[in-house]
């Protein structure tokens, strides 16, 4: 079974995924990096050339291909926007990395590698419409504010050990 990390842009899914991989000694894949390698294009280029809907189809297909494997998957922030993806995530160990919006905004503001990192208001609206989707797709929510990477990793590792 896989461990999927979900959360809004800037919530540290990649960083925590890498650190969790070192802690648990299991495979780790970053879904966005995987898509870029397979498609031989940056995510920002896929959005620019083919649009968001096209990206969501790719994202779904690659998630579906990887989710049944043993290991950690750091997903992209919009993975929960389709019911098909939420269904897949509900069947595995999905961990929601939760932060208040203001912290996330400071981290992603002006990031040109993120095509959806637009204005404050647009991002806030996107964040708010997604909140309940992150909750419904995950088994556990980690409140990450004021916690170190190691503290978050230990919290996830403890949860997984208890499940085993």
Binding interface with ligand S3P (CB under 6 A): 9, 13, 32, 43, 76-78, 114-116
Q: Which is nearer to ligand S3P, 103 or 116 (CB)?
A: 116
Q: Which is nearer to ligand S3P, 64 or 163 (CB)?
A: 64
> What phi and psi values does residue 148 have, to the nearest 5 degrees?
-80, 165
Q: In the bound complex, what is the minimum distance in angstroms from residue 131's beta carbon to ligand S3P? A: 13
Question: What is the rounded CA–CA span in Å between residue 77 and residue 26?
Answer: 22
**CB-CB contact of 8 with 127 (8 Å):** yes
Q: Which residue is nearest to ligand S3P (CB)?
A: 76
**CB-CB contact of 27 with 160 (8 Å):** no
Q: In the bound complex, what is the minimum distance in angstroms from residue 140's beta carbon to ligand S3P? A: 19
Q: Which is nearer to ligand S3P, 112 or 163 (CB)?
A: 112
Q: In the bound complex, what is the minimum distance in angstroms from residue 43's beta carbon to ligand S3P? A: 5
Q: In the bound complex, what is the minimum distance in angstroms from residue 162's beta carbon to ligand S3P? A: 27
User: What are the start-end ranges of the H helices in the chain?
Assistant: 13-24, 31-39, 43-50, 52-66, 83-90, 101-108, 120-137, 149-163
């Amino acid at each position: 079974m896989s461990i999927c990390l979900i959360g809004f842009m800037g919530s540290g899914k990649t960083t925590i995924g890498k650190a969790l991989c070192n802690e648990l000694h299991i495979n780790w894949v970053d879904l966005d990096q995987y898509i870029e390698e397979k498609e031989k294009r940056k995510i920002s280029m896929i959005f620019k050339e083919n649009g968001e809907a096209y990206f969501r189809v790719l994202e779904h297909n690659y998630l579906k291909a990887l989710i049944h494997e043993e290991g950690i998957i750091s997903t992209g922030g919009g993975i929960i926007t389709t019911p098909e993806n939420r269904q897949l995530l509900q069947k595995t160990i999905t961990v929601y990395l939760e932060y208040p919006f203001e912290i996330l905004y400071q981290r992603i503001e002006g990031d040109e590698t993120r095509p959806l990192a637009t204005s404050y208001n647009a991002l806030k609206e996107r964040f708010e419409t997604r909140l309940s989707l992150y909750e419904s797709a995950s088994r556990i929510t980690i409140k990450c504010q004021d916690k170190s990477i190691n503290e978050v990793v230990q919290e996830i590792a403890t949860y997984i050990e208890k499940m085993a």
